[in-house]
């Protein structure tokens, strides 16, 4: 098989990477896409670096065996912990990571706090701190660790009282402040965007999916590996839980509107 017709792989600690794959479906409709979610071991954001690396390498190896021409680490936690080691080992395959969209939030140049929602691991890593040094030194940026939000999304809780109460408890200290933007620093979080929007009102809600897929497309263009087929690409979903419930949730999330 020619390289350009091989699939693109996406991995995540669970179902969150589907939010990135949805962006790829829009931008690269001819590409064949494979998503591997490790819901059996979710969330990654409360594990040790050693555990995260081991699980991430296992997921990437699964996608390598599927002959993926490029692999997207559609998980902020896995990117922050394992991306450099992955690129060192898999030198022949482009490995694209995702990071919290701090730069676009700062470039809005609007008054108010920037709140970065992410897992505890993402917020404490050197990669994230480097982002802050580059783009956020003169802005008030609030760290808001939300590990339980991953678990809610993994259970398919996208709306309702349980989700609303959790988010209110997190945002309560800032509800009387001016908030310019909320950065979704975990790929699960876009599936809760409607609920977040109800709380933060006019604040912009930003995630890293668009930038990640743009980078993926540019890399494939440079390598002359964009799929030039006239037909729509295929989509395959795999999950470490391998249950009907999780696969139904994946299909539901793929079809759900993410505003």
Q: DSSP string of 121-151?
A: HHHHSHHHHHHHHHH-TTS-EEEEE-HHHHH
Contact 82, 52 (CB under 8 A): yes
* Residue 30 DSSP SS3: coil
Whether 49 has a binding-site annotation, put simply, is no
Please check if 13 is assigned to a binding site. Answer: yes
Question: Which residues lie across from 122 on neighbouring strands?
Answer: none
Burial readout 162-171 (b: 16 or more C-beta within 10 A, e: otherwise): ebeebbeebb
CA 251 to chain centre: 17
| DSSP assignment letter at 94 | -
Choose among 189, 163, 216, 237: nearest CA to 77. Answer: 189
Check whether 176 is labelled as a binding-site residue.
no
Q: Is 89 left (phi over 0), alpha (psi -120 to 50) or beta?
A: alpha
Catalytic (active-site) positions? 75, 186
Between CA 97 and CA 77 the distance in angstroms is 10
Q: Is 44 annotated as a binding residue?
A: yes
Task: Confirm whether residue 77 is marked as ligand binding.
Answer: yes
Residue 76 labelled as part of a binding site: yes
Which residue positions form the known binding site? Answer: 12-13, 44-45, 76-77, 187-188
Which residue positions form the known binding site for substrate? Answer: 12-13, 44-45, 76-77, 187-188
């Amino acid at each position: 098989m020619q390289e350009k017709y091989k699939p693109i792989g996406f991995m995540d600690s669970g179902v969150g990477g589907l939010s990135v794959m949805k962006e790829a479906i829009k931008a690269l409709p001819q590409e064949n896409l494979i998503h591997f979610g490790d819901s059996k071991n979710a969330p990654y954001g409360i594990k040790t670096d050693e555990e995260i690396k081991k699980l991430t390498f296992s997921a990437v190896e699964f996608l390598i065996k599927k002959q993926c021409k490029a692999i997207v680490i559609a998980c902020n936690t896995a990117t922050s912990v394992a991306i450099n080691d992955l690129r060192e080992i898999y030198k022949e395959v482009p490995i694209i990571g995702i990071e919290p969209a701090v730069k676009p939030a700062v470039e809005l140049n609007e008054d108010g706090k920037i709140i970065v929602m992410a897992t505890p691991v993402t917020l404490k890593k050197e990669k994230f701190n480097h982002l802050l040094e580059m783009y956020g030194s003169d802005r008030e940026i609030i760290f808001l660790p939300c590990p339980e939000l991953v678990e809610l999304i993994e259970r398919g809780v996208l709306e309702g009282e349980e989700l609303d109460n959790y988010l209110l408890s997190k945002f309560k200290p800032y509800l009387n402040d001016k908030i310019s933007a909320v950065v979704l620093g975990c790929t699960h979080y876009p599936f809760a965007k409607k609920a977040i929007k109800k709380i933060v009102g006019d604040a912009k809600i930003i995630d890293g999916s668009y930038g990640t897929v743009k980078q993926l497309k540019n890399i494939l263009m440079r390598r002359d590996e964009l799929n030039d087929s006239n037909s729509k690409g295929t989509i395959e979903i795999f999950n470490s839980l391998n249950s009907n419930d999780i696969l139904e949730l994946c299909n539901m999330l793929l079809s759900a509107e993410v505003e």
